[in-house]
Structure 1
């Protein structure tokens, strides 16, 4: 199993943040199925103010390229991602349109 961690900012608006959290209490079943089918075994998202931190534990067969291709062909995943852009904003210094930015490990005990 491998672990990846990502960061992303939400728009700094309490109403939008509350709605983002509400939507994540009932993620669409098709989106959850897509996550699991891609080889993501565990996913957690944490928030501090408007900064999000996501932990992904993936199987050895997981591929970012395969996940991206699967997402691109899944109308429900594309709709979910479009909806999420209403709440999200790219991190400073990220590429145009880039959402979750892969974080580099700094310390491990």
Structure 2
């Protein structure tokens, strides 16, 4: 009986410590003003690549490009769609050889600049 009570008390105590550790909104941040959080330090990576336009979808504002490896973001050669603006699509056609720069944000690749 004593062992059961000890086991139950230990479990309750352990769970209360875990719950207390998760509840930190009142934590004092004195002396940490200059410290940057990981999210602030990490910016959307910008990369450059070359490839061939395979398709243009003006409704979805995407350009599908078969591109070579992109070491800046550790990508192998592949064919994928990139988000573009209307201005960036102007004058582009399937089959055009292009060089472009893009950035990644939330798993979405967006063209910054694109040239034939």
Structure showing greater radius of gyration is 2
TM-score, with length taken from structure 1: 0.21
Richer in strand (by share): 2
TM-score, with length taken from structure 2: 0.20
* Greater RCO structure (CA 8 Å; 6+ sep): 1
Richer in helix (by share): 1
